[in-house]
Amino acid sequence: MAPTFYHHWPEPVTEKSGSMVQSQWWGWRGLKIGLIMVVLVLFVALIFFAVRANSKACKEGLLAEQECRNVTRLLELQLAQTREDLVGAMDEAATCNQTVVNLSTSLEMEKAQGLEQLTRREELQREVEKLKEKLQDALEEVERLRKEKEAWSKEGETSLGSSSKSLGALMAPVCLFLGLTALLA
């Protein structure tokens, strides 16, 4: 079955009843009064907030807020400067650390050279001691030969000639030895 649509046309109102006109009048009038009340409340609230916004406490609060912003900006600038200084100090510390490492390396090398020189000096001192002993032995030999020469010279001219020849033969190596030790010292 097909649906059936019913449509009713409104009936024109030719005559308005008194109660209907009166209720519409009160409706508009109530709406106007309500709007006026809302406008008055908003106006009073606006005056209240305007007075409060221009009050001394509000102005002091705004000044305090502005001062706080200025202090904050100043502190941010100081923080940025401090960070830059910190980076500079860290760079200097890195440079100092590198210098310490370089100096430590140089010091170790100097110590090694010092030990090497000390060892060489000790070796040279031992050689000097050996040479002194040899010199002492040579001097003792010369002294012994001189005494023999004196003893021979008392014995006679003939024995003197032969000892002076042997003494002359020994004097050359002794003088060479003494010259070498003088050069080494």
Q: What is the per-residue pLDDT across 78-113, written as a single tens digit (0 to 9) for each?
A: 999 999 999 999 999 999 999 999 999 999 999 999
Give mean pLDDT, residues 59-73: 90
At 135 the pLDDT is 86
Q: Tokens 């090497």 belong to which residue?
A: 116
| Averaged pLDDT, 19-28 | 61
Q: Is residue 135 within 8 Å of 178, Cβ to Cβ?
A: yes
Domain boundaries, the chain: 56-184
Crossing angle of helices 157-184 and 56-155, in 10° steps, is 170
Mean pLDDT for 46-53 is 82
Distance (Å, whole) CA 33 – CA 21 = 18
The residue with greater pLDDT, 22 or 39, is: 39
**For residue 98, what pLDDT is reported?**
95
Q: What is the mean pLDDT of residues 157-171?
A: 57
Which one-letter amino acid corresponds to residue 48? F
User: How high is the pLDDT of residue 58?
Assistant: 74
CA dist 71 and 26 (Å) reads 62
Q: What is the mean pLDDT of residues 142-161?
A: 74
**Residue 156 and residue 161: Cα distance in Å, rounded?**
9
User: Would you say residue 127 has pLDDT above 50?
Assistant: yes
